Amino acid sequence: MFVVATAGHVDHGKSTLVRALTGMEPDRWAEERRRGMTIDLGFAWATLPSGGTVAFVDVPGHERFVPNMLAGVGPVPAALIVVAADEGWMPQSAEHLAALDALGVAYGLLAVTRADLADPGPATARARAEIAATSLGAVETVAVSGLTGAGLPELRAALDRLAARLPAPTLDDPVRLWVDRSFTVRGSGTVVTGTLGAGRLRVGDELELAGADEPVRVRGLHSLGQARPEAAAVARVAVNLRGTPRDRLGRGDALLTPGRFHHSDLVDVRLTGDPAADLPATLTLHIGSAAVPARVRPLGPDTVRLRLARPLPLLVGDRALLRDPGRHHVAGGVRVLDVAPPPLTRRGAAASRAQVLAGLDGRPDVAGELRRRRLIRAGALLRMGVPVQAAPVAGDWLADPGHWRRLGEQLIEEVARHSREHPLEPGMPVDALRQRLALPDRVLVEALVRPPLRIHAGRVGTASANALPEPVARAVQRVRDEYGDRPFRAPEADRLVDLGLGPREIGAAVRAGALLRLADTVVLLPDALDDAVRVLAGLPQPFTLSAARQALDTTRRVAVPLLELLDRRGATRRLPDDARIVVG
């Protein structure tokens, strides 16, 4: 299907021409027929000589209804510009053309109507000159009469040629269907219509309603007046939504592929049209069928930041336009450069941001996004409209290669610094490293660790991190010298201090496996557990605490926590009468 929007001044014969081409009545409301002018959007379709189908979005031409016109033109890839031969170029001709130019519409035809009433030559010359200066460039022109039918075969053939020139739609892209009408059908419920510009829709699909938390499901699809199981871009579609109240959505809302769009109320854009410095503080942003007030903050000569009155599902590279409704003036077209821009809170931030934006062209660029953002999840880039080919560095995290390399170097420096400042600790805690490196996820820290560094027990250190500092190693050796022949005798607290073993030193020795901690200040040499099991196994079973203490040649201060540790490790089992047996 080929979708085209009409454009032109009020009462220049747009609806008459569509009616003559299609045999259908595009005007929807009795008020439109009474007043003889299109007020809202109309839709009709016809078969072309090639056998293809053209669907028309017939838009109003009166200046009061330009927002309605923009709602119809926004999602459509081509335009049929209509100029009456007997009146020529008129104010709304100019505003409609300015809107098409602002939206970057590059495909179109010129139909000069009422060729039976006046020589179409002058109107054709003026219109072609005006159109040539816009994104449409040189367009094919056909003089027609909706009344007599003259020129209609030629116009149909020209529409066929226009359809052949359009780029192929992207069928694998996510769906973003801008709603231009919503209504209720008895027995079916809520129905919305729109132009499907990319992707596919199927009956049963679950979609996301922009700005709402709840999903919606496609109950039925219609296109060209027929029920269909599937619709593929580009197409005019009517979507019946299951269980969705009519008041939940209307013109300007969008149905989306879930999880594929970033909803933003703050965007940076490039402006083509009025100088950024001359823009008023508030304008209306038109994109798709949406019209949203926007506060304007100029950044550079042709770049501005827009604060939208409500979030919209926007992508990098989107085309839209800014309009001053009070002056009936199209301020210009915009191209979305960034849908998740950084805050401008520091002095000079706006000027720096303008320099960054000056180098952007609105084309999705994963390498450029990574350079600017340094770290970002792949899903976040996809929701911005940036295809992802880069391999994640951890989980679904992507990183700029240069930034990732610098992070690795900084991690080594931080671990070394921590080791100097805390020589008794076996490495730097992962969470502390995450904070020092300003990383959003600890998996990034873990991915940065490279030999000779390693992660052990939630800390990052060298493979020799468990080696004791020399003063602690000497103190442990003195314990071994003094108590080696009395393995179950523990130094008293004051003796530990004399040996140079305070709480931090004891902790380091325990972590290194050089000492065995039974209680806060009760430590033995690390072989004590195995030796104790051998001694206790030689006792008559079961044995009492007193018998164990005597066999081990130790004090109750040591025997009680030692036996409790053996119980916890399953080497001994305590019986109901408090006696114990050696297990195994």
Q: What pLDDT score was predicted for residue 129?
A: 95
List the one residue out of 235, 5, 233 whose CA is nearest residue 109.
5
pLDDT(378) > 80 = yes
Rounded mean pLDDT of 490-515? 84
| pLDDT grade for 306, boundaries at 50, 70 and 90 | very high
Average pLDDT, the chain: 87
The CB-side HSE value for 405 (13 A sphere, CA atoms) comes to 3
Percent of the chain at pLDDT > 90 equals 51
Q: Point out the least confidently predicted range of 72-81, 385-394, 463-472.
A: 463-472
Residue 471 sits at φ, ψ, to 5 deg, of -60, -40
The residue with tokens 């809302």 is 253
Rounded mean pLDDT of 53-62? 68
| pLDDT grade for 274, boundaries at 50, 70 and 90 | very high
Angstrom distance (rounded) from CA 330 to CA 126: 21
Q: Are 166 and 195 in contact (CB under 8 A)?
A: no
Cα–Cα separations (whole angstroms), residue 79 to 7, 170, 224, 547, 565: 7, 20, 19, 101, 84
pLDDT(56) > 60 = yes
pLDDT digits (tens, 9 = 90+) for 536-579: 999 999 999 999 999 999 999 999 999 999 999 999 999 999 89
Angstrom distance (rounded) from CA 518 to CA 323: 77
Q: Are 385 and 198 in contact (CB under 8 A)?
A: no
> Which of the pair, 480 or 76, is modelled with greater confidence?
480
> Which of the pair, 250 or 394, is modelled with greater confidence?
394
Paired residues of 581 in beta bridges: 573
Rounded mean pLDDT of 184-204? 87
Q: What pLDDT score was predicted for residue 244?
A: 82
The residue with tokens 């219509």 is 193
Identity of residue 80? L
Rounded mean pLDDT of 11-18? 78
Q: Point out the least confidently predicted range of 108-112, 119-123, 224-228, 365-369.
A: 224-228
| pLDDT grade for 59, boundaries at 50, 70 and 90 | low
Q: What pLDDT score was predicted for residue 35?
A: 37
Rounded mean pLDDT of 293-314? 96
Q: What pLDDT score was predicted for residue 32?
A: 34
Rounded mean pLDDT of 25-45? 49
Q: Which run of H or of E encompasses 138? A: none
| Alpha helix segments (H runs only) across 466-527 | 470-483, 493-499, 503-511
Angstrom distance (rounded) from CA 253 to CA 397: 31
Query: Which structural domains are found in the chain, ordered by start?
Result: 2-165 (3.40.50.300), 176-256 (2.40.30.10), 262-363 (2.40.30.10), 527-584 (1.10.10.10)
| pLDDT grade for 62, boundaries at 50, 70 and 90 | very low
Residue 492 sits at φ, ψ, to 5 deg, of -70, 165
Q: What pLDDT score was predicted for residue 243?
A: 79
Q: How many CB atoms lie within 10 A of CB 277?
A: 10
Q: What pLDDT score was predicted for residue 226?
A: 87
Q: What pLDDT score was predicted for residue 213?
A: 67
pLDDT(151) > 50 = yes
| pLDDT grade for 60, boundaries at 50, 70 and 90 | low
Q: What pLDDT score was predicted for residue 75?
A: 65
Rounded mean pLDDT of 119-146? 93
Q: Are 528 and 516 in contact (CB under 8 A)?
A: yes
Q: What pLDDT score was predicted for residue 349?
A: 93
pLDDT(33) > 80 = no
Let me know if 39 is exposed, middle or buried by CB neighbors in 10 A (0-12, 13-18, 19+): middle
Q: What pLDDT score was predicted for residue 25?
A: 63
Angstrom distance (rounded) from CA 379 to CA 381: 5
Q: Are 103 and 321 in contact (CB under 8 A)?
A: yes
pLDDT(31) > 70 = no
> Which of the pair, 468 or 485, is modelled with greater confidence?
485
pLDDT digits (tens, 9 = 90+) for 334-375: 999 999 999 999 999 999 999 999 999 999 999 999 999 999
Angstrom distance (rounded) from CA 67 to CA 270: 22
The residue with tokens 């030629």 is 154
